[in-house]
Amino acid sequence: MSFDNLGLEPRLLEAVAAMGYTSPTPIQSAAIPVILEGRDVVGCAQTGTGKTAAFVLPMLQRIPAKPGGPRALVVTPTRELAVQIEGVAAEVSKRTRHRVAVVYGGVGYEPQIKALKRGVDLLVATPGRLLDLMERKSASLSNVEILVLDEADRMLDMGFWPQVRKIIAAVPRERQNLLFSATMSTEVLRVVSSTLADPVRIEVAPATTPIEAIEQRVYPVGTQQKAQLLVHLIRENELDRVIVFTRTKHRADRVAKVLHQNGIKSAAIHGDRSQSQRQGALDSLKAGRCRVLVATDVMARGIDIDDVSHVVNYDLPNTAEDYVHRIGRTARAGKSGTAVSLLAPEEHEMLRDIEVKIGSVLDCHDADGFSYVDHRLVPSAERTAKRQTRTVFSSSRGRGRRR
């Protein structure tokens, strides 16, 4: 399949070529023609498969570049995702001459208000800041022709849905609706069903199945040894573009500090950091000024960095879906990558849930020269993919052995 066969206009094809896209991903091949037809779409695909371009390209072909906007609105849960989407749209608009703006919290209002006053064809927004601007009479949605809810399930999980409902109520009833996400639960579909008109459902791969190009490894380790093992793995393998995920903001700061103390340049990114600090941390990893980015789950879907070689789950996430989103930060755009999970004894049930969701058993490994000294149970090699509802564990004392 080629972009030439999807119905895109020459200016869009020029934009695609300028951005370095050579062939469409499955979600792009399936979604672009349907969106160009004006149909409502529910699109579900794994992280790192090109969902943003799948709706940005046809959307900019369908809406006019003229006063009276915004004609298209994208609502997304995090600042990082908003910036990412705006970046793709801005690149495309260099060819189409559309005006693109992004609004999100954590920064001043004035620059965003000025951008809206200058005129916008496509607006990307987080729910809270958009409602603030609407209350200030600085943003009007009366001419929106296409509404995109990006990562709708995440917005529901994060408690944004009451805000999203207010936004939906403010846009015209006659419009095209697009929902895109890495997962699409029945609860989300129940909540949004009233906003959709005969939608086309596109699911290019099971939403909870990690990208096949990712090698997944588990290292059993005592909780107090995790920092030591992380430093060892980064040094031993000479890793230089790594994202480490923790469950809490405090843990993210502490892990980044430990890495610094061991001579490994790192930066922490989480909800307590200002937007400039968060963007600075992302830029540092992209530019190679730091080797490791330590992040919390709220950042899992908003980090879009090329050539991330490894994702490390310092703590296993609370849900299997978050595991999929985390490891999707590597192996993007068809490349390979490695996901490492540091497994403490108290996290065995989380591992079981992850294995049930992804339908496979993750290999357990020892790090050379590193002993597993916690005497509690560690995962057994006898775990099989067939045991979808129960995982068997065996005990191990002293130095761990390869399983």
Least trusted range by pLDDT, from 11-15, 21-25, 59-63, 175-179: 21-25
Residue 131 confidence (pLDDT) above 90:
yes
In three-state form (DSSP H/G/I as H, E/B as E, the rest C), the secondary structure along the chain is CCHHHCCCCHHHHHHHHHCCCCCCCHHHHHHHHHHHCCCCEEEECCCCCCHHHHHHHHHHHHCCCCCCCCCEEEECCCHHHHHHHHHHHHHHHHHHCCCEEEECCCCCCHHHHHHHHHCCCEEEECHHHHHHHHHCCCCCCCCCCEEEEECHHHHHHCCCHHHHHHHHHHCCCCCEEEEEECCCCHHHHHHHHHHCCCCEEEECCCCCCCCCCEEEEEEECCHHHHHHHHHHHHHHCCCCCEEEEECCHHHHHHHHHHHHHCCCCEEEECCCCCHHHHHHHHHHHHHCCCCEEEEEHHHCCCCCCCCCCEEEECCCCCCHHHHHHHHCCCCHHHCCEEEEEEECHHHHHHHHHHHHHHCCCCEECCCCCCCCCCCCEEECCCCCCCCCCCCCEEECCCCCCCC
Phi, psi of 246 (to 5 degrees): -120, 165
User: Is residue 51 within 8 Å of residue 84, measured between CB atoms?
Assistant: no
User: Is residue 294 within 8 Å of residue 226, measured between CB atoms?
Assistant: no
- Nearest alpha-carbon partner for 122 in 164, 96, 89, 91: 89
Question: Could you report the per-residue pLDDT of 228-261, keeping only the tens digit for each?
Answer: 999 999 998 899 899 999 999 999 999 999 999 9
Same domain, 121 and 94: yes
In a domain, 154, yes or no: yes
User: Is residue 233 within 8 Å of residue 291, measured between CB atoms?
Assistant: no
pLDDT of residue 312: 96
Q: The whole model's pTM is what?
A: 0.68
- Nearest alpha-carbon partner for 231 in 105, 342, 119: 342
Highest mean pLDDT, choosing among 45-54, 60-69, 137-146, 389-398: 137-146
pLDDT of residue 332: 67
pLDDT of residue 370: 61
Same domain, 273 and 344: yes
Residue 210 confidence (pLDDT) above 80:
no
Same domain, 187 and 304: no
Same domain, 230 and 304: yes
Residue numbers of the domain that contains 33: 3-203
> What span, in angstroms and rounded, lies between the C-alpha atoms of 389 and 331?
29
pLDDT of residue 310: 94
Question: Could you report the per-residue pLDDT of 59-89, keeping only the tens digit for each?
Answer: 999 999 988 889 999 999 988 889 989 999 9
In a domain, 330, yes or no: yes
pLDDT of residue 195: 82
Pairing, β 214-220 against β 363-364? parallel
Question: Could you report the per-residue pLDDT of 258-282, keeping only the tens digit for each?
Answer: 999 999 999 998 878 877 788 888 8
In a domain, 86, yes or no: yes
Beta partners for 177? 147
Same domain, 322 and 182: no
pLDDT band at 132 (very low <50, low <70, confident <90, very high): very high
Least trusted range by pLDDT, from 18-32, 100-114, 195-209, 306-320: 195-209
pLDDT of residue 368: 67
Residue 290 sits in a domain of what CATH number? 3.40.50.300
pLDDT band at 305 (very low <50, low <70, confident <90, very high): confident
In a domain, 340, yes or no: yes
Which has more pLDDT, 216 or 365?
216
> What span, in angstroms and rounded, lies between the C-alpha atoms of 184 and 120?
30
pLDDT of residue 208: 54
Residue 388 confidence (pLDDT) above 90:
no
pLDDT band at 143 (very low <50, low <70, confident <90, very high): very high
Q: Which residue, 182, 203, 224, sits at the end of a domain?
A: 203
Same domain, 177 and 239: no
